[in-house]
Amino acid sequence: MTTAGRMPAGGRCPGWATGEDQVVGIVADILREVPLPRMARVRQNFPAEAVADVAAALRDELRRPAINGRLRPGMRIAVAVGSRGVAQIPRIVRTVVEELKLAGTEPFLVPAMGSHGGATAQGQLDLLAGLGVTEASAGCPIVSSMDVVELGRLPSGLPILMDRHALQADGIVVINRIKPHTAFSGEYESGLVKMITIGLGKQKGADSCHAFGFGHMARNIVDMARIKLQKAPFLFGVATVENAYDQVARIVAIPAEEILATEPKLLLLAKQNMPGILLSALDVLVVDQMGKEYSGAGIDSNITGRAATPYVNVTPKTAKMAVLDLTEKSHGNATAMGLADIITRRLYEKIDFEHTYANALTSTVTLGGVIPLIMESDRLAIQAAVKTCNAPDLQRVRLVRIPNTLHVREIEISESLLAEASRQPRIDLIGEPAEWNFDSSGNLQDIGRWR
């Protein structure tokens, strides 16, 4: 069914103009006098180590005897690629495929996405294409299917499921970024282990791993991956760690039998490289865009301090959060919108509830799919967040605006934060305080374009 843009039962939301009689409504009246602070642009400085030539570094890794020695001419090799916005993923995939071909093997790609893409084969192909990964860019076929094979069961009875086409190959290569997860903390979070368990488990395998909730996730992904590594023809994994500027800081090829021992070390490195908001105890956080290319959930809890489960360690604290838009590359999946307090009508109308709910039901985390308060414009959404933040003096509200939760080098802060920012050695002031840049409809004219 087509659900994107469908209004809640009962018609239009409170405070929305009708378009004909321009009836504004009581909500807009309540918010009319809510002050918005002037905002100043600042630059946050993080460690910036980066790989100068990712393709060359990856070729060196793939040509090591411990990796290249596993390849035999004629082998059909499944290359697992996920739905996350991994930096330079088209180039990384292309390089892996080229090296596999040089060794005389026959590679093909397998979307490793669990329930993403609406839990359909075509939806997962579309997600890959949105990331710039196609048969043309990769130089090999893509075999997308939701068919799985059971490899065994955990002592708890949970089935361990594996993509049928990957399992039938002579070898499997997994590509993923190592980073903190948004819903649980552990020795393994987002990375090769999780992709082996959930991504290559497709929707049914992801559903099995999530069945007992995120309180068991840190253990389940490891226990299931261990069995898969024993029973399926995994050859090696390609892991990246990114710096705070969405650049590859490290790229390594890891023999299959060393993945479990190596990944925790890379996760520690990833956490050291994480960006963040260097100012704490915010009254309001405004996020211009949420999207799958920025975080698996659309919004990274490690940046916002807003998590959908109690099983992840997040430290930032934000009283109220407004999210203004959903990216096209999300294909309507607004899984983490429920972590916001306020969203806009524009964002709401882009939601595909089939894709969003498939993700939420599989993960068993329903909070992210809850619809927050909906406001007609960006101005009203921000004013609503300020109005409800319970700051003792709204004239001095501690407000931060970010373009998304991946790119937080340049952000905007309210005037009330300038003195604190000036004492922070990793923050540089790069713009003078200015009024918000709204158009005649109350929407920001630079949304998604100012980073």
| Together in a domain, 320 and 397 | yes
Q: What angle do CA 271, 299, 448 make, to 5 degrees?
A: 110
| Together in a domain, 371 and 317 | yes
Q: What is the pLDDT of residue 450?
A: 64
| Together in a domain, 246 and 316 | no
Which range among 233-237, 330-334, 361-365, 387-391 shows the weakest confidence by mean pLDDT? 361-365
Q: What is the pLDDT of residue 297?
A: 77
Distance (Å, whole) CA 224 – CA 440: 54
Final residue before a domain boundary, out of 273, 301, 323: 273
Q: Supply the pTM of this predicted model.
A: 0.76
Q: What is the pLDDT of residue 310?
A: 74
The CATH number given to whatever domain includes residue 151 is 3.40.50.11440
pLDDT tens column, 269-289: 998 888 889 998 899 999 999
Share of residues in the chain with pLDDT > 70 (%): 94
Distance (Å, whole) CA 355 – CA 291: 13
Q: What angle do CA 430, 433, 434 make, to 5 degrees?
A: 115
Identify the band that residue 1 occupies on the pLDDT scale cut at 50, 70 and 90. very low
**Is 363 part of a structural domain of the chain?**
yes
Distance (Å, whole) CA 132 – CA 144: 16
Average confidence (pLDDT) over 168-185: 91
Final residue before a domain boundary, out of 273, 301, 329: 273
Q: What is the pLDDT of residue 426?
A: 94
**Is 414 part of a structural domain of the chain?**
yes
Cα distances (Å, whole numbers) of residue 91 to 85, 94, 131: 13, 5, 11
Domain ranges, residue 231:
64-273
Average confidence (pLDDT) over 223-228: 95
Cα atoms in the Cβ-side hemisphere of radius 13 Å centred on 435: 6
| Together in a domain, 324 and 309 | yes
Q: What is the pLDDT of residue 8?
A: 43
Q: What is the pLDDT of residue 24?
A: 56
DSSP H or E stretch at residue 154: none
Partners of 152 in the β-ladder? 160
Identify the band that residue 75 occupies on the pLDDT scale cut at 50, 70 and 90. very high
Distance (Å, whole) CA 306 – CA 304: 5
| Together in a domain, 325 and 180 | no
Average confidence (pLDDT) over 107-115: 93
Average confidence (pLDDT) over 146-167: 95
What is the number of other CB atoms lying within 10 angstroms of the CB of residue 319? 18
| Together in a domain, 106 and 39 | no
| Together in a domain, 299 and 386 | yes
- pLDDT: is 205 or 236 the higher one? 236
Which range among 23-27, 216-220, 246-250 shows the weakest confidence by mean pLDDT? 23-27
- Count of structural domains, the chain: 2
Q: Residue 13: pLDDT above 70? A: no
Q: What is the pLDDT of residue 2?
A: 38
